[in-house]
Structure 1
Amino acid sequence: MPIRRKAVDAGIFDPEELALLGRVFAQMKTRNQSADSQSRMASRIIANYMAGVVDESELITLSRLPLGR
């Protein structure tokens, strides 16, 4: 699962955090989504989580938006 690979690359998360990230990813992914698109989405989820967004529904909403630069 791309979210777990990205999460491991980003740093150390405890099992509860990985479960949250995995749930958010599972709710956001689509059937025919490319691996590249899934990877970008996983990066957005992790970036938002690391920025302090810990509410699951808020994490989903914000992770649908492109990352601000």
Structure 2
Amino acid sequence: MPIRQKLEDAAILLPDEVDLLTKVFAATSVQGETDADREKRASRIIANYQLGIRDETELAELSRRPLGR
């Protein structure tokens, strides 16, 4: 699962943080999504979490949007 690897690479997180991010990742999956799409979605979830967003619903909503540059 892409998000587990990314979480291991991102930083030290507590188990409940990993559980939250994994839950958001699972809840936002889209049928027919490519590996690249999953990687991008996992990156968006982690990036938003690192920006301080801790609400599960908000993380899920933001994961559907491209990262701002």
TM range (shorter): over 0.9
RMSD of aligned residue pairs (Cα, Å): 0.7
Which letter maps to 2:30?
A: T
2:45 counterpart of 1:27: no
State the Cα distance separating 1:31 from its structure 2 match.
2.5
Which letter maps to 1:61?
A: E
Which letter maps to 1:42?
A: A
Which letter maps to 1:40?
A: K
Q: Deviations over 1:45-67 (max 9, x none)?
A: 00000000000001111111110
The two structures have a TM-score, normalised by structure 2, of 0.95
Q: Deviations over 1:13-42 (max 9, x none)?
A: 110000000000001112221111100100
Runs of 4+ in 1 over 4 A off after TM superposition: none
2:15 counterpart of 1:15: yes
Aligned to 1:5: 5
Identity of aligned residues (%): 51
The two structures have a TM-score, normalised by structure 1, of 0.95
Aligned to 1:37: 37
